Amino acid sequence: MDKINPNFQKLAPSYLFSEIAHRMGTYQEANPTAKLIKMGIGDVTRPLPPACIRAMHEAVDELANVRTMKGYGPEAGYLFLRQAISDADYKARGVDIAPSEIFVSDGAKSDTANFSDLFGSGIKLGITNPVYPVYVDANAMGGHAGDPDGRGNWSGITYLPTNASNGFVPELPKAHLDIIYLCFPNNPTGTTLKKARLKEWVDYALREKALIFFDSAYERFITEDDVPHSIYEIEGAKECAIEFRSFSKTAGFTGVRCGYTVVPHDVKSNGVELNALWSRRQTTKFNGASYISQKGAAAIYTPEGHEEAMALIKYYLENARTIREAMARAGYECFGGVNAPYVWIKTPADFPKSWDFFQYLMEEKNVISTPGVGFGSEGEGYIRLSAFNTHELTKEAMNRILR
């Protein structure tokens, strides 16, 4: 027996960020004095909120004491954190989500990737395009995506284009789908869905007995009033939606690792409660997020932790505004960046391809972007600039582009 899972053999090597690193390396070698400003990767750069740091120090000290040390915790997370989430992220917004419907984890990437474990073969998937690549690749690994077509798409996935021509609002599918992945505020486009648009998707899911997997990793970046923070603000969503959240972008936890997934008791598939199934899956394959990171995450729900985390978000959103305004002044068509830390930019007529514009910005402006086509075929003709940087470097990058 020497056969590996054939689904893994269908996957193309992950290429986007290694290709960017390769091109950067080649350029830097030929131009050793060039000071490249990296606005490509979606990772935070500012120190964590002091309240979180203090809470994590205290948690470490508890582990040092025989009376307060902790071993395995509850797989779905400590009640102190699940209760805080239930109260602050839901009840305070008029949404009733009980702690038993909240599963704390080591982050949203693993949960969004693992959730399709609960479903059998032949499920009909709808995924927006461009998209956070995890949903597609994880479903491919699980055998849910069919076969690759050689042009970056999979036969078993219905792609839902989100681009300038539909105002970055995916259109409802003509045919039946079982599961639809939605991520709003969106990575990579930085755009959002207003309440009325999201309601159309919830209504579709209820009508078609479909499920919506709603990734709201960027929820804290929402600044506009009519943008829903949670899909459960929409009537009926508690019967058809799973919501994924993360402390990574909320409070700089990309290196700490903590997030959570909401599985309401009323969400059923073939009469089976997904809450019970996900619990069964997690208690088998996951032993819980660390006590230290959960204590750190709970501190975000204290008044000072909240204020400090929001100050971080404000810092990044100011960069997003700097980027948006400068790129618009330079004559580029820009999207997003108002409720998200990403600005999605249409490539100019002389560089219709994402990679060509990437190369131009690197060589002529020494600014590193992410080519939109790396997020899916509908991302061709766009690049993404990330606001996760210092004010100084963001301004410097924009000055270079305006020069």
Cβ-based neighbour number of residue 235 at 10 Å: 11
Interaction of residue 374 with ligand PLP, rule CB under 6 A: no
Interaction of residue 107 with ligand PLP, rule CB under 6 A: yes
Q: By C-beta, is 305 or 365 nearer to ligand PLP?
A: 305
Q: By C-beta, is 122 or 255 nearer to ligand PLP?
A: 255
Cβ-closest position to ligand PLP: 107
| Count of residues touching ligand PLP (by CB under 6 A) | 14
Interaction of residue 254 with ligand PLP, rule CB under 6 A: yes
Tell me the two tokens of residue 341. 């830390």
Interaction of residue 259 with ligand PLP, rule CB under 6 A: yes
Which residues within the stretch 229-248 sit at the binding site for ligand PLP (CB under 6 A)? 246, 248
Which residues within the stretch 152-211 sit at the binding site for ligand PLP (CB under 6 A)? 183, 187
Q: Shortest Cβ distance from residue 220 to ligand PLP (Å)? A: 12
Task: Give a three-class secondary structure readout of the chain.
Answer: CCCCCHHHHHCCCCCHHHHHHHHHHHHHHHCCCCCCEECCCCCCCCCCCHHHHHHHHHHHHHHCCCCCCCCCCCCCCCHHHHHHHHHHHHHHHCCCCCHHHEEEECCHHHHHHHHHHHCCCCCCEEEEECCCCHHHHHHHHCCCCCCECCCCCECCEEEEECCHHHCCCCCCCCCCCCEEEEECCCCCCCCCCCHHHHHHHHHHHHHHCCEEEEECCCHHHCCCCCCCCCHHHCCCHHHCEEEEEECHHHHCCCCCCCEEEECCCCCEECCEEHHHHHHHHHHHHCCCCCHHHHHHHHHHHCHHHHHHHHHHHHHHHHHHHHHHHHHHHCCCCEEECCCCCEEEEECCCCCCCHHHHHHHHHHHHCEECEEHHHHCHHHCCEEEEECCCCHHHHHHHHHHHHC
Which residues, 6+ apart, have CB-to-CB distance to 93 below 8 Å? 229, 230, 233
Which residues within the stretch 8-37 sit at the binding site for ligand PLP (CB under 6 A)? none
Which residues within the stretch 44-63 sit at the binding site for ligand PLP (CB under 6 A)? none
User: Which span sits near ligand PLP by CB under 6 A: 80-88, 105-113, 280-288, 347-355?
Assistant: 105-113
Which residues, 6+ apart, have CB-to-CB distance to 236 below 8 Å? 202, 203, 206
Q: By C-beta, is 215 or 380 nearer to ligand PLP?
A: 215
Interaction of residue 219 with ligand PLP, rule CB under 6 A: no
Interaction of residue 40 with ligand PLP, rule CB under 6 A: no
Measure the CA–CA gap between 212 and 347, rounded to whole angstroms: 32
Q: By C-beta, is 101 or 243 nearer to ligand PLP?
A: 243
Q: Shortest Cβ distance from residue 95 to ligand PLP (Å)? A: 20
Q: Shortest Cβ distance from residue 125 to ligand PLP (Å)? A: 16
Q: By C-beta, is 210 or 217 nearer to ligand PLP?
A: 217
Interaction of residue 250 with ligand PLP, rule CB under 6 A: no
Interaction of residue 217 with ligand PLP, rule CB under 6 A: yes
Tell me the two tokens of residue 241. 């939606």
Q: Shortest Cβ distance from residue 352 to ligand PLP (Å)? A: 26
Give the up-direction half-sphere exposure of residue 13: CA atoms within 13 A in the CB hemisphere.
4
Q: Shortest Cβ distance from residue 147 to ligand PLP (Å)? A: 25
Q: By C-beta, is 42 or 374 nearer to ligand PLP?
A: 42
Q: Shortest Cβ distance from residue 188 to ligand PLP (Å)? A: 8
Which residues within the stretch 296-335 sit at the binding site for ligand PLP (CB under 6 A)? none
Instruction: Answer whether 244's CB lies under 8 Å from 112's CB.
Output: yes
Interaction of residue 132 with ligand PLP, rule CB under 6 A: yes
Q: By C-beta, is 217 or 326 nearer to ligand PLP?
A: 217
User: Which span sits near ligand PLP by CB under 6 A: 11-19, 79-87, 107-115, 347-355?
Assistant: 107-115
User: Which span sits near ligand PLP by CB under 6 A: 15-23, 62-70, 72-80, 104-112?
Assistant: 104-112
Q: By C-beta, is 183 or 326 nearer to ligand PLP?
A: 183
Site residues for ligand PLP per CB under 6 A: 42, 107-109, 132, 183, 187, 215, 217, 246, 248-249, 254, 259
